[in-house]
Amino acid sequence: MSRILALTACTSGTAHSVMAAEALKKQAALLGHEIDARVVDPGAGTAAWVDDAVMMAADGVVLATDTPLDLGSLGARRMHVTSTASAIRDPAGAIQAALALGRTASIASKTAEPAPTISDAPAPAPAVSPTAHSPAVAPPGSADRPVTTPASGKRLVAITACPTGIAHTFMAAEALKRQASAMGHDIAVETQGSVGAKNVLTDEQIAQADAVIIAADTAVDLSRFAGKALYQTDTGSALKKALAVIEAALATEAPAGDASSTSRAVKPARAGGKAQSGPYKHLLTGVSYMLPVVVAGGLLIAISFVFGIEAFKEPGTLPAAMMQIGGGAAFLLMVPVLSGFIAYSIADRPGLAPGLIGGLLASQLGAGFLGGIVSGFIAGYSARLIADKVKLPEGIQGLMPVLVIPLLATATTGLLMVYVVGAPMKGIMDGLTAWLGGMSSTNAVLLGALLGAMMCFDMGGPVNKAAYAFTVGLLSSSSFGPMAATMAAGMVPPLALALATFIAPRKFVRSEIEARQATGVLGLCFISEGAIPYVARDPLRVIPTMMVGGAVSGALSMLFGCTLRAPHGGMFVLLIPGAVGNVVMYLASIAAGTVVAAALVALVKLPSEEVEGS
């Protein structure tokens, strides 16, 4: 049990202060910590808040404030500073960050220099953790403005990776770079995106690093970082809470003794460094590797239709070749790649071969992507079980990854697929395909609305990815309607918020208005994460309105019978004839959802405290 001291203060009096204090109390009790939460009067002076003995006895200190404060003698204590809104939304993150800072307080007090004032604009931004060594401190600024802390000259290396390898990967990398620079640290970030690894870390960089940050939503090979202080989190936390992530990474200790346990590809973690394992992360790894195969295959099939819907049936023609490449080869690989990399996520390279073979069996047996998912988990867990349980003499131990594991895991996976899993999965896929093909208008609208709302719920988070992975998997059974609904809804949040800044500019801060052009472009590219800065500032009003707009777009897309053969690309897939079915009504669906969401958010959002021209 740790002792937490929480001080809360807001400009409007007591409402937000009390709510923040209560949220921190409840979360501390759930985590098993003892907490002293105090609502303080900013004008009363630090002597009235807490005495030095209580402050120094605390293992971690949280200061949730929306107004600049004179800390006086309390400025000598390292503490986590955030806004009251962030403390209300994420009390666990605030407590974890405070404890991480508390563990390094004695070291930091010897090396830190006075920190400059951060900002004078209150904002319900993601939690940040400046080191409070100066007599004055201000509430954290917006998510796109790094918080400055004392320079300590540390060297960091990081890897960022997300399932699609497009948005979160690079946004998280940029956030870490900017925050590390503001803190006076050197950082090198390797991005494992959709085009492969960029800025690959060198052995020299890794050897000199004081800490390693892995911000990933898919499996990452950690064999290069054996013996290093390693902090794992997800891309969302690195993007929204870059300072807290960096502070926690520097507070992480290197493993004692044999570090060989890090040689396996491990799963990502939640903020706080605790590994988050489970089927969902393995599934996202499989989807991330499957996406390029599906995109290439779907677009090549669409190109074959440019010459006529039936043109591919003429042997020896270009349309026939395009259909053979896209439908005969790329789509044939779709399920095996999904299965293979699910197994790879679980068991590293030894799981790849049985996963690929199991996925191919799923395709041959008609079990579709559902069978591929099952085969991937069977192959991965059987390979890992064999690796852990089967022991060979030391002289022939090298045969394990190239002979024993692939042979036994492939046999296990194959036999289970042929005799146990294949037939039931085929029945489920046949039933699902028939249901999707014979849906009434009402059912189609309801499915589209559900998928659309899920896509807009967390802007690239678990719910969004679950809906996306489901519709991508349906492409293997030639069900293209749900994919169209999913992409239409996914474009709504950035487009709607960009439009809303024109409709009601007084309800958005200056940085949001300045970013609206970039946000709109991200929306056109089907990058929902462009809405994250707006969501972070006012989630309780922005998220529900975006879900309504997404549901409208998804429902209309399904109602109009729109189809989409490529799982990504946004508006740019319209440049490829045949990629989108019923183009005009598809555009109308996107426009309708965008207008509805923009109007709703402009209506319910409160006026901003930072108004252009004020």
What's the burial of 394, exposed, middle or buried (CB within 10 Å: 0-12/13-18/19+)?
Answer: exposed
Predicted local distance difference test score (pLDDT) of residue 47: 66
pLDDT-based confidence at residue 369 (cuts at 50, 70, 90) = confident
Mean pLDDT for 154-158 is 91
pLDDT tens-place string over residues 178-235: 888 888 889 999 988 766 778 889 988 999 998 999 988 777 888 888 888 889 888 8
pLDDT-based confidence at residue 17 (cuts at 50, 70, 90) = confident
pLDDT tens-place string over residues 265-281: 443 333 344 444 578 78
pLDDT-based confidence at residue 165 (cuts at 50, 70, 90) = low
Task: Choose among 515, 511, 527, 519: nearest CA to 612.
Answer: 511
Q: How far apart are CA 546 and CA 459, in angstroms?
A: 10
Residue 119, CB-side half-sphere exposure with 13 Å CA sphere: 22
Domain architecture of the chain: domains with CATH: 3-137 (3.40.50.2300), 155-266 (3.40.50.2300), 279-434 (no CATH), 441-604 (no CATH)
Task: Choose among 86, 98, 89: nearest CA to 5.
Answer: 98
In three-state secondary structure terms, 60 is: strand
Q: In whole angstroms, how large is the CA radius of gyration of the chain?
A: 26
* Position 259 pLDDT exceeds 60: no
- Are 128 and 143 within 8 A, CB to CB? no
pLDDT tens-place string over residues 465-488: 888 888 888 887 778 889 999 999
- Are 34 and 58 within 8 A, CB to CB? no
pLDDT-based confidence at residue 14 (cuts at 50, 70, 90) = low
pLDDT tens-place string over residues 322-357: 889 988 898 889 899 999 999 998 988 889 999 999
- Are 326 and 304 within 8 A, CB to CB? yes
DSSP designation for 221:
E
DSSP designation for 417:
I
Predicted local distance difference test score (pLDDT) of residue 358: 94
Mean pLDDT for 273-301 is 75
Predicted local distance difference test score (pLDDT) of residue 548: 95
Q: Active-site positions? A: 10, 162
Predicted local distance difference test score (pLDDT) of residue 142: 40
pLDDT tens-place string over residues 373-427: 999 999 999 999 998 888 888 778 778 888 899 999 999 999 999 999 989 998 9
* Position 129 pLDDT exceeds 70: no
pLDDT-based confidence at residue 537 (cuts at 50, 70, 90) = confident
Predicted local distance difference test score (pLDDT) of residue 119: 36
Predicted local distance difference test score (pLDDT) of residue 381: 94
Predicted local distance difference test score (pLDDT) of residue 107: 45
In three-state secondary structure terms, 79 is: coil
User: Facing residues of 191 across strands?
Assistant: 160, 198
Predicted local distance difference test score (pLDDT) of residue 415: 95
What tokens appear for 302 in the block?
């669409």
User: Facing residues of 4 across strands?
Assistant: 35, 60
pLDDT-based confidence at residue 164 (cuts at 50, 70, 90) = low
Q: Which amino acid is at 29?
A: A
Phi then psi dihedrals of residue 68, to 5 deg: -60, 140
What's the burial of 43, exposed, middle or buried (CB within 10 Å: 0-12/13-18/19+)?
Answer: exposed
Q: How far apart are CA 445 and CA 441, in angstroms?
A: 6
What's the burial of 390, exposed, middle or buried (CB within 10 Å: 0-12/13-18/19+)?
Answer: exposed
Predicted local distance difference test score (pLDDT) of residue 298: 79
What's the burial of 298, exposed, middle or buried (CB within 10 Å: 0-12/13-18/19+)?
Answer: buried
Q: What percent of the chain has pLDDT over 70?
A: 82
Mean pLDDT for 230-248 is 85
Average per-residue pLDDT in the chain?
79
Lowest mean per-residue pLDDT among 42-56, 396-410, 429-443, 543-557: 42-56
